[in-house]
Chains A and B, each alone.
Chain A
Amino acid sequence: MSEKKTLIEEGTELKGTLTSTCPIVVQGRVEGELSGPSVEVADSGVLSGKAKVTELRSRGEIAGEFDAKVVELSGRVRDKTIIRAESLEVSLRRSEGRIEMVFGDCELAVGDAPDKAKAVAAARGNGHGRGKPAAEPEQQPPAQDQNGVQ
């Protein structure tokens, strides 16, 4: 038996809040808040607003604020979009010379925050035992400056 899905078909516009226990497939336009186990935005689909889901896969257009465990993108991300995810996958694919994935102004927060102090310390450690002089230890930058994007 095929899995049940909530389908917003092409030509359909939905404004408001949608909560579903089934995977949601957006082929039309959704504007508002959306929550469910997964959302798939098809090539023809536009999803703008907020979504909190386990999986977000988009080949269409997304805009707004998205929280997901797994995100896969190959369409368009519009301006003022924030994506928070445990993992993000964007492929470097081109078809007929055009860019497959287009990013507007947006923010991506993916995975654990990279730790600059730790990375620098590890890089300094790389020289040990290989006949290279280890650099002098330096004062680490303050914690609050480490990971923020200006």
Chain B
Amino acid sequence: MGELTRDQALQKLRKNEKLDRADLRGIDLSRASMPGAALSRADLEGANLEAVVLRKATLKNASLREAYLVGSDLQEANLENADLEGAKLDRANLSRANLARANLDGASLAGANLSGALLSFAQVSAANLTGADLRHAVLTHANFEESALGAVKAMEADMRAVNLRGAILTKADFTGAKVAGLIGTGAPLGDVLVAWLDTSEAGDGTGRITNGEIPGLLSGLRRPAAAATAPASRRYFGRGDVLKNATLDFDGGARVEIDSLFENCAINVGDGTELVIGEAGVLADCTISGAGMITVHGHFFERESPGIVGPRELVVSSGGAVVASVLQNDSLTRFAFERGSRLRVKIVK
């Protein structure tokens, strides 16, 4: 056991004393509130820190091997280079925490909140992150070999140069993640939920790939097409322009924004194409077909029913208006309607 008891440790913290380098092995600090605690290089191996509040605490280079941190609050904590091997962090809140170069090998992080966290160069092999929230996390050069990443939400995470060899990705959502230099799983993927990925080296969104190429990239079994690193196709139709009786086809992964007036037009979009009808955009007597992601800030009026066919996503913002029948995508369309949107919509399966 360590040199301090629970009461002694908490008393020191209450007096704002630092516990840097303290020997706290095996201590029971469960449910204690210690926001902002100074615990750099502290030895907390095997400690019981269940539901502890260590928000904004400094745990840089601390040893938390095999520590029990289930349900703990570590928001914005500094765990840089900390040793968390085998630690139990299920449902812990690590939002915006610094875990750069931390050792999380064999750790359990099921359902943990790691949104916005920094895990660059972290070791996370053979770890369980099932259902964890990794949205907007920075994971560059992290090693997730043999880890369970099923059902993780890693939308718009920075996964450049991440190692996923042997990882399980079933039902994971990496939509919008930056993946240049990523090392794939080395095995066929299960069911992953990814609309598009950014393969640009700078991670600036200019290298979009969509459905067909995603499994190959995440598995590492097939390189993405050469075009994958080319800038995503972008189209903008400006205010004041009028387009009539036209048929427009946009490849998967393109981004199309319309602030013009389209009349009697047919728009065909590829998988994952983002089609945005801007505030000034009006599509009158038009049709939109394909598994795109449609956002309506302006107006859409169908030509014939169904006027919108098979979208993956249909979002109508507070200023948007849609008059149409919507034939849902085979895997069901995701709908979002903001308060203030005006709708005369028939949804058909």
Contacts and interface: CB of A to CB of B under 8 A. Distances in A.
B299 A88 contact: no
Contact of B347 (A88, A103, A109, A123): A103
Contacts of A132: 239-241
B280 interface: yes
Where chain A touches its partner, the secondary structure class is loop
A110 B322 CA distance: 10
B313 A135 contact: no
A114 B319 CA distance: 11
Contacts of B337: 88-90, 108, 110
Q: From B240, B260, B333, name the one whose CB has the most chain A CB atoms within 10 angstroms.
A: B240
Nearest to B301: A116
Contacts of A107: 345-347
Q: From B151, B340, B345, name the one whose CB has the most chain A CB atoms within 10 angstroms.
A: B345
A135 B171 contact: no
B221 interface: no
B261 A102 contact: no
A77 to B, nearest CB: 8
Interface string A25-56: 00000000000000000000000000000000
Contacts of A150: 302, 304-305, 325
A149 interface: yes
B97 to A, nearest CB: 22
Contact of A101 (B151, B335, B343): B335
A90 B336 contact: yes
A42 to B, nearest CB: 21
B204 interface: no
Where chain B touches its partner, the secondary structure class is strand
Contacts of A92: 313, 315, 334-336
Contacts of A148: 323, 344
A126 B340 contact: no
B240 A126 contact: yes
Contacts of B240: 126-128, 130, 132, 134
B33 interface: no
Contacts of A120: 261, 263, 282, 284
Contact of A113 (B305, B328, B333, B342): B342
Given A97-B193, A114-B321, A149-B323, A123 B340 contact: no
Contacts of B315: 92
B131 interface: yes
Interface of A: 79, 87-92, 94, 96-97, 99, 101-114, 116, 119-120, 122-124, 126-128, 130, 132, 134-135, 141, 146-150
12 contacts: A105-B348, A114-B301, A119-B299, A119-B301, A119-B321, A120-B261, A123-B242, A126-B261, A126-B280, A148-B344, A149-B302, A150-B325
